[in-house]
């Protein structure tokens, strides 16, 4: 008897031993009973009121309000989905009788979100003939900041803003070639702690430094509107230009920016006489600082007043080059890591440690792209996708509050959980709404000791 015949014998034996199952259909039960607590928390925060009053008025005959539309889309990602079609495929049946929201169709959700897109903006620079395609989304950015003020964990006094741009690779019709030689967008993002405070989209051809000073001005203006006081702005070397630093100084008390190596900066490094030895793991580094006046050549070329230039503090960390190549200006075979700041009170080590803390914010881009859909934009135009980026940034901000709050109420959650683990631990508990004692109650088919 060959292997195939043995397999058929085994199947026949199994069919003989196992009786036919009888299936009884019942009213729909949602596989995501824990989502009800998320929706209820959003209502407790009055996010529903904010959305319905801040977004454009819908037709009177509209069956769904803005909270239904936005919360339904957020629910897709709170349940492990990644596109609007999951509403009809995986969510709508189990949420037909939900007392909190009505689930629209995917087309209705996407069409309503597209209607929020602003007219795209095209800017030029003083030097260069290229047009830069931006999407500012001022109203949605203002709405996002208003929503943040409803979250108890969002602090408004002496905040630290981390600004950065990220590349989102996409083959959308209007996406342009980035410096990485792939088509995409290059949104600028402002972050306070784990809160996304500002998103301004730009096409891939417009690098991070292009007109960034205007982006900084717009971001800070919206924050000042709600009474946010800015203590520090940290940014990478893309922000190391005369205009950007002036814009940052205007809006923040202090700044910490990664400087770019130039011949004048290298000469300044050569003037440092005192270096302190620093051990990091198995490496030995040297660290020192000096005063430095940058952008003198820029000021002369643009006829800027000499009193517009300031003297800043330059903190340098250097490490020996493996190839032994000598720098012509410093006379050393070293790799330099310079940080420019207007803070003269911190020690050199404190400046470096404080600036390096912004590296943790890079994780936010990973979370936005992989947990909240930034890598899978649903629309074909930049300004429409900007709406999506901001709506999902709001979802990320809500999740930050949800996981921090809920982890204090149940032992099996932790404040550092990514959304996937939160879904497995909390959201995926079957439940349905039932009438009992003239009240509508949530019946969960599992153990969830959750204090509402």
Which tens digit of pLDDT belongs to each residue from 270-304? 888 899 998 887 888 999 999 999 988 776 666 65
d(CA 412, CA 149): 28
**Sheet hosting strand 183-185, strand order edge to edge:** 168-169, 183-185, 176-177
Residues of the chain with pLDDT under 50: 3-4, 7, 11, 13, 16, 18
Q: What is the architecture, at CATH level 2, of domain 121-371?
A: Alpha-Beta Complex (3.90)
Q: d(Cα 310, Cα 292) in Å, to the nearest integer?
A: 8
Strands 334-341 and 121-123: unpaired
Cα distance between residue 95 and residue 280, in whole Å:
54
Angle at 213 between CA 207 and CA 215, to 5 degrees: 75
CA dihedral 83, 85, 87, 92 (to 10 degrees): -160
C-alpha 179/C-alpha 176 separation (Å) is 10
How many angstroms separate the Cα of 392 from the Cα of each of 113, 116, 305? Answer: 12, 14, 44
Phi/psi of residue 37, each to 5°?
Answer: -70, -35
Comparing CA positions, the residue from 297, 263, 125, 295 lying closest to residue 207 is 125
Q: What is the pLDDT of residue 243?
A: 92
Quick one: which of 345, 373, 273, 359 has its CA closest to 316?
A: 273
**Exposed, middle or buried, 251 (CB in 10 Å: 0-12/13-18/19+)?**
middle
Alpha carbon 96 to chain centroid distance?
Answer: 32
Backbone angles phi, psi at 163, to 5 degrees: -110, 135
Break the chain into its structural domains and give their ranges: 26-115+407-444, 121-371
Distances (CA, A) of 114 to 58, 69, 120, 388: 14, 12, 13, 9
CA distance 191 to 354: 15
Instruction: Phi first, then psi: give them for residue 240, nearest 5 degrees.
Output: -85, 70
Q: Is 90 left (phi over 0), alpha (psi -120 to 50) or beta?
A: alpha
Q: Report residue 275 as tokens.
A: 């270096």
Q: Pairing between strand 230-235 and 159-165?
A: parallel
The number of beta carbons lying within 10 Å of the beta carbon of residue 397 is 22
DSSP string of 405-419? Answer: HHTTT-TT--TT--H
Task: Specify the DSSP class assigned to residue 38.
Answer: H
Proportion of the chain in helix, strand, coil states, percent, rounded to 5: 40, 20, 40
DSSP code of 321? -
How many other C-beta atoms are found inside a 10 Å radius of the C-beta of residue 17?
7
**Locate tokens 């395609």: which residue?**
133
The DSSP letter of residue 253 is S
pTM: 0.89
Digit-coded pLDDT (tens) for 370-402: 999 999 999 999 999 999 999 999 999 999 999
Structure tokens given for 111: 């069409």
Model pLDDT, residue 11: 46
Closest to 405 (Cα-Cα) out of 417, 394, 393? 417
* CA-CA-CA-CA torsion sign (99, 103, 108, 110): positive
Count other Cβ atoms within 10 Å, centred on residue 131.
14
For the beta carbon of residue 370, count every other beta carbon within 10 angstroms. Answer: 15
Record the tokens describing residue 88, joined without a space.
């009809």
């Amino acid at each position: 008897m060959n292997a195939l015949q043995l397999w058929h014998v085994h199947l026949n034996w199994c069919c003989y031993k196992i009786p036919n199952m009888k299936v009884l259909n019942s009213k729909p039960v949602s596989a995501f009973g824990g989502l009800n607590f998320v929706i209820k928390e959003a209502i407790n925060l009055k996010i529903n009121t904010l959305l319905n009053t801040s977004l454009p008025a819908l037709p009177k005959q509209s069956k769904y309000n803005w909270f239904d539309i936005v919360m339904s889309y957020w629910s897709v990602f709170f349940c492990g989905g990644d596109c609007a079609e999951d509403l009809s495929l995986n969510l709508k049946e189990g949420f037909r009788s939900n007392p909190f929201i009505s689930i629209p169709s995917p087309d209705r959700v996407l069409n309503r979100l597209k209607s929020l897109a602003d007219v795209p903006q095209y800017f030029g620079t003083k030097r260069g003939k290229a047009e830069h395609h931006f999407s500012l989304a001022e109203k949605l950015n203002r709405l996002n900041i208003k929503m943040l003020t409803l979250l108890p964990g969002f602090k408004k006094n002496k905040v630290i803003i981390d600004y950065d741009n990220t590349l989102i690779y996409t083959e959308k019709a209007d996406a342009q070639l980035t410096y990485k030689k792939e088509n995409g967008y290059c949104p600028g993002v402002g972050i306070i702690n784990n809160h996304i405070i500002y998103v301004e989209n730009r096409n891939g051809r417009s690098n991070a430094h292009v007109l960034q000073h205007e982006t900084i001005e717009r971001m800070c203006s919206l924050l000042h509107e709600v009474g946010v006081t800015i203590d520090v702005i940290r940014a990478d070397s893309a922000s190391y230009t005369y205009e950007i630093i002036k814009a940052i100084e205007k809006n923040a008390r202090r700044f910490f920016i990664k400087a770019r190596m130039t011949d004048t900066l290298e000469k300044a490094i050569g003037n440092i006489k005192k270096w302190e030895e620093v051990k990091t793991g198995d490496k030995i580094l040297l660290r020192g600082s000096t005063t430095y006046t940058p952008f003198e050549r820029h000021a002369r070329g643009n006829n800027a007043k000499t009193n517009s230039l300031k003297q800043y503090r330059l903190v340098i960390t250097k490490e020996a080059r493996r190839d032994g190549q000598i720098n012509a200006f410093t006379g050393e075979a070293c790799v330099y890591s310079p940080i420019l700041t207007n803070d003269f009170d911190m020690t050199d080590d404190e400046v470096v440690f404080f600036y390096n803390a912004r590296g943790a914010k890079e994780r936010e881009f990973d979370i936005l792209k992989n947990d909240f859909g930034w890598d899978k934009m649903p629309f074909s135009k930049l300004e429409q996708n900007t709406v999506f980026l901001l709506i999902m940034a709001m979802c990320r901000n809500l999740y930050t509050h949800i996981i921090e709050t809920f982890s204090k109420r149940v032992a099996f959650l932790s404040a550092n959980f990514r959304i996937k683990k939160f879904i497995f631990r909390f959201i995926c508990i079957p439940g349905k709404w039932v009438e009992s004692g003239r009240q509508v109650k949530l019946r969960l088919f599992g153990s969830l000791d959750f204090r509402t």
